[in-house]
Structure 1
Amino acid sequence: MAVTAAAAAAATTAPQLGPPGQADESQLGELLIARLRDAMLGLGEPAQSDDAQRLAAELAHAQRDYRTGGYASLAVRLPRLLSTAHAATTPDYLLLSRGYLLATLLLIKLDEQQLGWMAADRARQLANASGDAVAIAESSRQLAVLARKAGWHDQALNLALTAADVPELRAAGAPGEALRGLLIQSAAYTGARQGDPDGMRELTSEAAAIASGLGAGASHVVVGGFSTATIQLHLVSAENSAGDPSRALAAAESIDPTALPSAERRARLYMDMAHAHNKWGHRDACIAGLLAAERCAPQETHARPAVRALVSGLLLSGRTTPDLRGLATRVGALRA
């Protein structure tokens, strides 16, 4: 894949990818992590222009790349955006905060918790400096996710539910209501991880009521989307975490994939279904789910460590079909 000279200079220790036909997409996650790390350390190469409109357009493009699973583009665009925005004569705190929030989302997906904490903390500080209630709430949500992943469940619940009750967020219109719903969703997922499925379902119902009140037009007011369909998608993950794959699959079966707002969300549905089938011992259905996720967002599917780990487990636990062998090669679990 072609990269600019500036991006290449910012990633001298990163894995290098060749032209599109030769690229190993399983390395895209490592490449993205390395370039984000360098940008966050001040080693990235800013673009020549820091025009405010250009930066806003670059952020919008990076967010679109996230929704479509375009990791190759993100590996160039997002680190360069952060470096350029930091080098601007008058830094735009809100734009920087949103850039770091996007970086946090990616680092969480890529299981890079240390850099994720760093990005989330910067996002919170920059959001506070901007005074934007939605950005402040989103930074709290990402910190809650990281706290949950660290096993700090009480703190994760406190972060999410406290942020959801901030008056400024309630006054922020549809984006604020969507963030309230996402924060409550996050708390629900933490409940599932704590072994409280009833509490998880109660909080999920509360988030669903917010989504229903917003209507279908609100699905894109936040990067990942928020709607009744994404609430149901969240429930699939939560039931998986609560240890009930049958409920997870039942929740998944009620989702129309075309109602989900992005390729990233559709891939998440099929990944979650694959995990549920794996827990239930449905080997062929698990592989089918992973292949469906790959069709939705191939670069993201190939780059994610969670997918690689699942495929590696499948290689060890049963027969290796041509479909599984091909997938294993593409995600880096089996070198050709």
Structure 2
Amino acid sequence: MDIPSNLTTGERIRLLREARGMSRPVLAGLCGRGPDWLKKIESGERPIRSHSLLLRLAGALQLTDLSLITAAGENVAQPVVLGRLTHPAMPAIWKAVMTRPLLLALPETPPDPAALLARVRDAWRLWHTSDHNRTQVGALLPELIQDAEIATRVLEGRPRRSAHEALSEVYRLTGQATAYIAPPEMAWVIADRALTAAQASDNPAAIAAAAWSLGNILRSTAHPDEALEVVEGAASLLRPHLDSAPDDWRGVYGALALHAAVTAARAGRTGDAWRHWDTGDEVAKSLPASYVHPSTMFGRANVDFHQISVATDLSASRQALGLADEVNPDAMPSLERRARLWVEVARGHLQRGDRTAALHVMQIAHGISAETVAYTPSARVAVLDLWREAPRALRPEAGRLAEAIGVAIA
């Protein structure tokens, strides 16, 4: 975009942020700061002298050249690295997804779609119960992708629709396992294939679940309005069926509501965020107390966890920490979701300036699921801030945690 040359750094940041459709709390959060900090930067009340913070702002705004912010000449301009995190499972998954052959080797015996669905659901269980879920699930995905693709090719009628449902589940799981490590073009391919396969299955719940996954991609790429449109459209698809729907259909509907709540919160839309959370809360009340959706983990515990996430994303740290005191983390069967809860609690402590508590809580999260912390951007930002700003006596401990998750502190 053309940026007037007479704008200050703060004015440039505001212009670029608004052009991306990002709220001030969202951009500030991506930089590990609060919205008041960014407001002062944008207004010119506070100069930004930290080169590393300028790079983080540029990265969060998806800029490739720092001079778009600084406009200070070649001596300050610098390319911005927008690379994804790396994981050893990625090459094989990339090959399975991106080099899918036009003609697959077809088996002599037609695959059993029920057995295929069972394998996919076992993989979802592993995703939620392993503390190294990306590694273990990532090893399964290439073969699952191939087998599900073959099944949709060779089966007909109702078995083929079941195979498409399984294929959609495989791609949804692939999207979860490759979040923040897949190149953007691959993330979009995965989301599109999940939705296309779900539509071919002719199963409204599968379509809505695929839309939930697509919403995750849209939200993570700074398209909150489009994410809300997708998940609200999927909710409308399920709503007419809710009175007589199976529990898992209502579970997907509730997960869509929680997704919308967090998306609205990250965009700073307080009223919308709590309205969507209330919808999810009502759905959870309509389901058995022990109910948990097998992939989204929607259920009573996840609704309570999301209440903390919404408060944290709205920078209501006192409320978030008060809510955290009331939840039972062990009620959540997913280690991944449990670790993310503690990341949210750590963020709440950081918002209040309590770095000692934040470090302790982040260590709990790392102990529950090391890979969740290592591959969650908000957790990595929090750990880096802890290392930089922890009390002197705790800096060695914060440094060890940063090294354990691969955050550069040199």
Q: TM (normalized to structure 2)? A: 0.68
Among residues 112, 116, 126, which one is paired with 2:197 in the alignment?
126
* Aligned-partner residue type, residue 385 of structure 2: G
2:129 pairs with 1:68: yes
Out of 240-249 and 309-318, give the one that drifted further: 309-318
Structure 1: distance between partners of 2:128 and 2:329: 14
Structure 1 spans left out of the alignment, 5+ residues: 1-26
Structure 2: distance between partners of 1:268 and 1:300: 7
Give the superposition deviation at 1:303: 3.8
Which residue is equivalent to 2:88? 31
Out of 79-88 and 178-187, give the one that drifted further: 79-88
Give the superposition deviation at 1:300: 2.7
User: 1:175-324 maps to which residues of 2 (within 5 A)?
Assistant: 175-219=248-292, 221-318=293-390, 319=392, 320-324=394-398
The 8 Å contact of residues 255 and 296 in structure 2, kept in 1 or not, is answered as no
Structure 2: distance between partners of 1:174 and 1:57: 18
Q: Aligned residue pairs: how many?
A: 309
Structure 2: distance between partners of 1:246 and 1:191: 19
Deviations 1:151-198 (A, max 9, x none): 333322222122112156535311111111111111222221232212
Among residues 128, 145, 155, which one is paired with 1:82 in the alignment?
145
Give the superposition deviation at 1:304: 3.5
Deviations 1:61-119 (A, max 9, x none): 31122102422211211222112322344362111100111112233365754422221
Give the superposition deviation at 1:54: 4.8
The 8 Å contact of residues 171 and 190 in structure 2, kept in 1 or not, is answered as yes
* Aligned-partner residue type, residue 56 of structure 1: L
Rg larger for: 2
Q: TM (normalized to structure 1)? A: 0.82
Structure 2 spans left out of the alignment, 5+ residues: 1-83
2:187 pairs with 1:116: yes
Which residue is equivalent to 1:4? none
Which residue is equivalent to 1:9? none
2:163 pairs with 1:106: no
Change (3 A) 1:57 1:202: closer
The 8 Å contact of residues 104 and 116 in structure 1, kept in 2 or not, is answered as yes
Which residue is equivalent to 1:327? 401
Deviations 1:271-317 (A, max 9, x none): 11112212221111111111111221123333444433322232222
> What SS does the aligned partner of 1:217 have?
coil
Structure 2: distance between partners of 1:224 and 1:112: 23
The 8 Å contact of residues 291 and 300 in structure 2, kept in 1 or not, is answered as no
Which residue is equivalent to 1:55? 116
Give the superposition deviation at 1:139: 1.1
The 8 Å contact of residues 384 and 409 in structure 2, kept in 1 or not, is answered as no
Change (3 A) 1:297 1:122: same
Give the superposition deviation at 1:244: 1.8
Structure 2: distance between partners of 1:119 and 1:87: 17
The 8 Å contact of residues 93 and 126 in structure 1, kept in 2 or not, is answered as yes
Give the superposition deviation at 1:267: 0.8
Structure 1: distance between partners of 2:241 and 2:195: 15
> What SS does the aligned partner of 2:88 have?
helix
Out of 207-216 and 67-76, give the one that drifted further: 67-76
Structure 2: distance between partners of 1:296 and 1:173: 32
2:235 pairs with 1:172: no
Structure 2: distance between partners of 1:116 and 1:279: 31
Structure 2: distance between partners of 1:35 and 1:285: 40
The 8 Å contact of residues 180 and 375 in structure 2, kept in 1 or not, is answered as no
The 8 Å contact of residues 127 and 137 in structure 2, kept in 1 or not, is answered as yes
Out of 129-138 and 326-335, give the one that drifted further: 326-335
Structure 2: distance between partners of 1:28 and 1:55: 30
The 8 Å contact of residues 153 and 190 in structure 1, kept in 2 or not, is answered as yes
Give the superposition deviation at 1:232: 1.4
Indicate the RMSD between aligned Cα atoms, in angstroms: 2.9
Structure 2: distance between partners of 1:300 and 1:195: 25
* Aligned-partner residue type, residue 64 of structure 1: R
Which residue is equivalent to 1:14? none
Among residues 215, 225, 230, which one is paired with 1:154 in the alignment?
225
Change (3 A) 1:277 1:35: farther
* Aligned-partner residue type, residue 289 of structure 2: A
Change (3 A) 1:300 1:155: closer
The 8 Å contact of residues 55 and 85 in structure 1, kept in 2 or not, is answered as yes
